[in-house]
A and B are shown apart, each in its own frame.
Chain A
Amino acid sequence: GQQLNQSPQSMFIQEGEDVSMNCTSSSIFNTWLWYKQDPGEGPVLLIALYKAGELTSNGRLTAQFGITRKDSFLNISASIPSDVGIYFCAGRESGGSYIPTFGRGTSLIVHP
């Protein structure tokens, strides 16, 4: 089955800094999803991408569906303390199950 490599595993940044994280897959995907999980809560969808090259923003968050269809990145600009949490990429393999495969997450800590 497909594998998702998400990096970095964790990030420790100062408030106001920009953040970038990415995911790569071993196979072609037709959907990329980015979720955020707050402590003690379930993941919440931030951005969904459905086309190669698609660039989508949600407030200070921007995500892109890679041209090769095997990668995606998420950027957070001007981080604030409430950005703390675990960010997961997830994707659906082209021709595969409708259930997305999740990356292992990027833990983000923002120092005030």
Chain B
Amino acid sequence: DTAVSQTPKYLVTQMGNDKSIKCEQNLGHDTMYWYKQDSKKFLKIMFSYNNKELIINETVPNRFSPKSPDKAHLNLHINSLELGDSAVYFCASSQAGGAGDTQYFGPGTRLTVL
């Protein structure tokens, strides 16, 4: 069984479009995250949600809007896509968002903006 799943795996779209990436975790964790991995493989935290509540928003443009319908899901909606949004986006989850937490990552969604 997949612990953290994301869809789609690949997403190719034109500049200016709006797209969504879905994430689900079946681990019973309270905290979920979105990371962006750029072409140089740098992993940068974008958002953290704890029990459906936004905890951290790391200076991400407001074109990016995460939505958490329940604590097992954290979707990422992106408006007016730009070339610089091309990257791999990883969803992750952890038990409680604490110092001893282990983050479990999804397989990633490769977004290409043309």
- Minimal Cβ-Cβ distance residue in B for A86: B41
Q: Is the CB of A42 within 8 A of B98?
A: no
Query: How many angstroms between the C-alpha atoms of A26 and B100 in the bound complex?
Result: 21
- On chain A, which size bracket covers the interface? 20 to 34
Q: Is the CB of B105 within 8 A of A44?
A: yes
Binds A, one of B11-19, B42-50, B60-68: B42-50
Query: How many angstroms between the C-alpha atoms of A50 and B92 in the bound complex?
Result: 21
- On chain B, which size bracket covers the interface? 20 to 34
Q: Is the CB of A97 within 8 A of B56?
A: yes
Q: Is the CB of A104 within 8 A of B40?
A: yes
Q: Is the CB of A41 within 8 A of B108?
A: yes
Selected contact of B43 from candidates A43, A45, A107, CB within 8 Å: A43
Can you list 11 contacts pairing A with B, beta carbon distance less than 8 Å? Answer: A31-B100, A43-B90, A43-B105, A45-B102, A45-B104, A48-B102, A97-B56, A102-B42, A104-B40, A105-B43, A107-B41
New A-B contacts (16) at CB < 8 Å, excluding given A99-B33, A102-B43: A31-B100, A37-B41, A40-B108, A41-B107, A42-B90, A42-B92, A42-B108, A43-B43, A43-B90, A45-B102, A86-B41, A92-B99, A99-B48, A100-B103, A102-B44, A104-B40
